[in-house]
């Protein structure tokens, strides 16, 4: 009578031991996560970002034409001609200026369009988008006419000669031209130019400009 009881106890002991072993194995199999472990991420590519960067270390180099460099070009008639002479990337058929305005008079009416490498280029004035030429209303091209910006009022020109469509949109696929006008100017500047040809074509050109301003303290 005692044997079956001993067998039952032995079987129960074996079952309890097996359960403890299984539980121990299951507990030991759980991975331990440490907060100090370095997590390796998969490779990814960033196509565009609006994250601001340090002002002293731009990601893309910007060419700056100061008023002195603009004066050294010898051009005082059209801002596009200044860029053509100072930056060869503005040469091309899409850069339509006053000298060949008659060729595409229906599209530009003699206006000046800037195109870096003959591609869409955004034009800013003091960091803001400039108005489109009104010739667009009559079926002309959509562009900013830089010929209406007087060179004498320009302090500097900033040229971003790389694509910036991720930041500004599709009109900046080739780059950005930012025209900074003079501020807090004190003094007087007068200038002019005149051209004449003795040939039968009777070619003549003239241009005059004047700048006068006085700086005043702003009220607190």
* CATH number where 79 lies: 2.170.130.10
Return the percentage of the chain with pLDDT > 90, whole number: 14
d(CA 25, CA 44): 39
Residue 174 lies in a domain: yes
Q: Which domain holds residue 121?
A: 62-183
The pTM of the full predicted model, rounded to 2 decimals, is 0.61
Surface-to-core class of residue 150, CB atoms within 10 Å of its CB (0-12 exposed, 13-18 middle, 19+ buried): middle
pLDDT of residue 133: 86
Residue 18 has pLDDT above 50, yes or no: no
Cα–Cα distance list, 146 to 101, 139, 218 (Å): 13, 19, 31
Across the range 1-30, mean pLDDT stands at: 46
Residue 106 lies in a domain: yes
Residue 124 lies in a domain: yes
Residue 80 lies in a domain: yes
pLDDT in tens, 92-105: 878 887 655 455 55
d(CA 170, CA 173): 5
Residue 211 lies in a domain: no
pLDDT, the chain, mean: 74
Residue 15 has pLDDT above 80, yes or no: no
Residue 138 lies in a domain: yes
d(CA 83, CA 63): 11
Across the range 75-94, mean pLDDT stands at: 86
Sign of the CA dihedral running 168, 171, 173, 175: negative
pLDDT of residue 159: 93
d(CA 148, CA 94): 18
pLDDT in tens, 93-152: 788 876 554 555 567 777 888 999 888 899 999 999 998 888 888 888 888 999 889 888
d(CA 182, CA 125): 11
Residue 157 lies in a domain: yes
Domains in the chain, number: 1
- Tokens representing 55? 């002002």
């Amino acid at each position: 009578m005692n044997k079956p009881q001993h067998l039952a106890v032995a079987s129960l002991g074996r079952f309890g031991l097996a359960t403890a072993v299984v539980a121990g194995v299951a507990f030991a199999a759980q991975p331990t996560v440490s907060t100090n472990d370095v997590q390796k991420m998969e490779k990814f590519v960033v196509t565009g970002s609006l994250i601001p960067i340090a002002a002293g270390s731009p990601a893309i180099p910007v060419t700056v034409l100061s008023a002195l460099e603009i004066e050294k070009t010898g051009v005082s008639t059209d801002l596009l001609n200044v860029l053509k002479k100072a930056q060869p990337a503005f040469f091309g058929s899409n850069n339509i200026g006053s000298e060949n305005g008659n060729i595409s008079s229906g599209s530009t009416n003699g206006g000046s369009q800037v195109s870096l490498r003959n591609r869409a280029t955004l034009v800013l004035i003091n960091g803001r988008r400039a108005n489109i030429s009104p010739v667009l209303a009559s079926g002309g091209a959509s562009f900013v006419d830089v010929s209406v910006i007087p060179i004498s009022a320009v302090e500097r020109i900033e040229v971003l000669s790389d694509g910036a469509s991720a930041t500004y949109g599709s009109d900046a696929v080739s780059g950005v031209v930012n025209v900074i006008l003079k501020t807090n100017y004190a003094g007087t500047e007068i200038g002019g130019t005149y051209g004449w040809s003795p040939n039968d074509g009777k070619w003549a050109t003239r241009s005059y400009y004047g700048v006068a301003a006085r700086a005043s303290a702003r009220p607190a």
